[in-house]
Amino acid sequence: MKVSQERIEKHIKRLSKYTATPNEGTTRLTYSEEDLQARTYIKEQMKAYGLEVREDGLGNIFGKLEGEKKDAPGVIVGSHFDSVPNGGDYDGPAGVVTGLEVAALFQENQIKPVYPLEVIAMIEEEGSRFGGGLMGSRGIAGYLQKKDIEQLKDKNGISVPEAMKKIGLDPSLNVKRNPETIKAFLEMHIEQGPLLEEEQISVGVVESIVGLTQLEVTISGKAGHAGTTPMDRRSDALVAAANIIAKFPQIAIEEGEGTVTTVGRHEVFPNGANVIPDKVKFSVDIRSSKEEHIKNVVQKVKDVIASYETDNIQAEVEQSLYMEPKELNQEIRSLLQASCEQLDISYITMHSGAGHDAMVLSDITDVGLIFVPSKDGLSHCPEEWTAIHELAAGVEVLYETVLKLTEES
Ligand code: GLV
Ligand code: MN
Ligand code: MN
């Protein structure tokens, strides 16, 4: 073995260049020009490490090293390569680079696995372009039908197939993976919280992942002149939305046990300073480690919205994503912990408050997820940072675990 910090750093630095907002963090929306640049680089690296590369009907990238056993299920390692708007360089890429480094080590050490090794780079985990999120893994798990995919549009009305074709991808290809072709999925991710750094621990072995849902709310009112329409004759969609949104934090606080709600995106129409808004669209992200809390909060949020409906203010609520909390595979967790012990790398077991592709893929295969420290616990912002040696320690743990899983019968 010897994990190469140099290679890891090179890949992280290179991928960070593929951003639509240079000097203001990583903005790499799915099927954008920056996606194409990152995708081209990832595919080139996969080929250089001896992997056979293919893309599926959503543009998820797979690089495969055949195993000795014929038609055996693969051990998949990777993460996503899209980003939030003005995000960091590590959320997603840390896991993709882990996959690349594991493949490089297999090549360097001339390891011919019994079970295939597959490196994966998934699309649209963040949902920043098409909403909902976890799209690549939901496609692989078979949760998205072709017709659903065709209907997904970005805020400019561009559909998934249209956007894919624009960067040379083929939406007619198959997306759903037969679960029998997968032996396990392993993901390394930055923690996105402060615990590992504070405790000076190298690795978090994730036991469970938060449940989450996202709602898309549309409030409709009536447009009018900002100067001439008296205050008592207005149906201002933004004023209604603002009142509604202001109630959400208290709902989460009352639910307790770490339940959280966030309105992170809203659009106002027609968005003119002297026009009364006639439509507002906003997202609501609701999370808890207990499913009952998510369900309660969804109901309370819907009740608040309904309470603002009048003859002139209408509301529509759509649920764009629902994932129940997940517990990850016990055997893989034990294998990951054993790898940490064997390598003398400090670890703790953890819960994840962020969503991950691992939670979707855990429905169709055995999944393991580890975290490495995040500086100041920051993520989804340009300041997101993890030291290269900390990434390398996580890669060592995954490499060791992949070795076991690709050998074992
Ligand atoms: C992904 O970063 C999520 O937790 O939404
Ligand atoms: Mn993220
Ligand atoms: Mn992520």
Ligand 3: centre distance to CA 210 (Å): 13
Strands 279-288 and 211-220: antiparallel
Tokens standing for residue 296: 């309660």
Distance between CA 28 and CA 310 in Å, rounded?
A: 40
Ligand 3: centre distance to CA 87 (Å): 10
Check residue 409 and give its pLDDT: 63
Check residue 70 and give its pLDDT: 87
Ligand 2: centre distance to CA 362 (Å): 18
Check residue 132 and give its pLDDT: 79
Distance between CA 241 and CA 220 in Å, rounded?
A: 9
Tokens standing for residue 6: 């140099």
- For residue 373, say if its preceding peptide bond is cis, omega within 30 degrees of 0: no
Q: Is the CB of 236 under 6 A from ligand 1?
A: no
Q: Containing H/E element for 217?
A: strand 211-220
Half-sphere CA count of 230, side-chain side, radius 13 A: 2
Distance between CA 282 and CA 262 in Å, rounded?
A: 10
Angstrom CA distances, 386 to 121, 186, 211, 335, 372, stand at 20, 19, 26, 24, 8
Closest ligand 1 atom to Cα of 285: 5
Tokens standing for residue 358: 């691992």
Q: Is the CB of 355 under 6 A from ligand 1?
A: yes
Residue ranges, the chain, pLDDT below 70: 1, 408-409
Q: Is the CB of 25 under 6 A from ligand 1?
A: no
Check residue 1 and give its pLDDT: 65
Q: Is the CB of 126 under 6 A from ligand 1?
A: yes
From the CA of 78, the nearest ligand is 3
Ligand 1: centre distance to CA 357 (Å): 9
Distance between CA 361 and CA 133 in Å, rounded?
A: 14
- Residue whose Cα lies nearest atom 3 of ligand 1: it is 355
Strands 117-122 and 314-323: unpaired
Structure letter (DSSP) for residue 61? E
